[in-house]
Amino acid sequence: MTETFAEQRLQIADACRVLAMRGLADGILGHISRRVGPDRILIRCRGPHERGLAHTTAADVRLLDLDGAPAAEGELDGGWRPPNELPLHTEVLRARPDVQAVVHAHPPAVVAADLAGLAIRPVIGAFDIPGARLAQAGVPVYPRGVLVRDRRLAAEMVAALGAKAVVLLRGHGITSTGGTVPEAVLRAKSVDAIARMSLTVASAGGTLRDLPGDDLAELPDLGSAFDETTAWRHELSRLQ
């Protein structure tokens, strides 16, 4: 292969391990992709000795085209195969040129909160500023608990996502997007944190209230160097 994308493969592998460590993708379900060209992606695939996301290595990340075929010699040799929900990634990337990375995970708290009728709302402020802004912009729901295994179902999910950063999949999980792999993972983590907070408040008999608009407007933009670079360095350090 003339292009090995070693650094990018390792980043996706680390990101999969972060999802597992944070409890967003327990077991063998979940995957991350990254655009690396007009019609090529790197994506976490499953091999003959699958052990789950917590044990992902760079070797689990394969270079494919948007139809799931190997985009370089040997990428699917030896029993490797794309995830069943590959269209979930490729349809987002086809429809959204602003998106460079897609995360699909199964965070139990997000699924439970949605089933309980608790939307992802801006109920927090400085606790998680990027999360507050994400919630303020809105987190839509794709209301079908299906395996997004073909382009038809993926197109439905993409329509529900629209121009937003994250979409919940009812009875299923979450699809999170970003300009980078860390951004997509950190957005998923923020949604999970709000879902957990909402479930805790509801279980204590409390009432969820959106933060006042004046408070949301007062929240500063701390910049990507803090919100993403430093936050991601912290997530990687936790893996050690």
Residues marked as catalytic: 85
Tokens of 87: 């269209």
Most distant pair of Cα atoms in the chain: their distance: 59
Look up residue 199 and give its amino acid. L
Under DSSP, is residue 136 helix (H, G, I), strand (E, B) or coil?
Answer: helix
Tokens of 50: 């699958």
Under DSSP, is residue 201 helix (H, G, I), strand (E, B) or coil?
Answer: helix
Edge-to-edge strand list for the sheet holding 61-65: 61-65, 40-44, 31-37, 101-105, 173-178, 166-169, 141-142
How far is 199 from 207, CA to CA, in rounded Å?
A: 11
Q: Of 35, 226, 30, nearest to 128 (Cα)?
A: 226
Tokens of 142: 């794709």
Look up residue 54 and give its amino acid. A
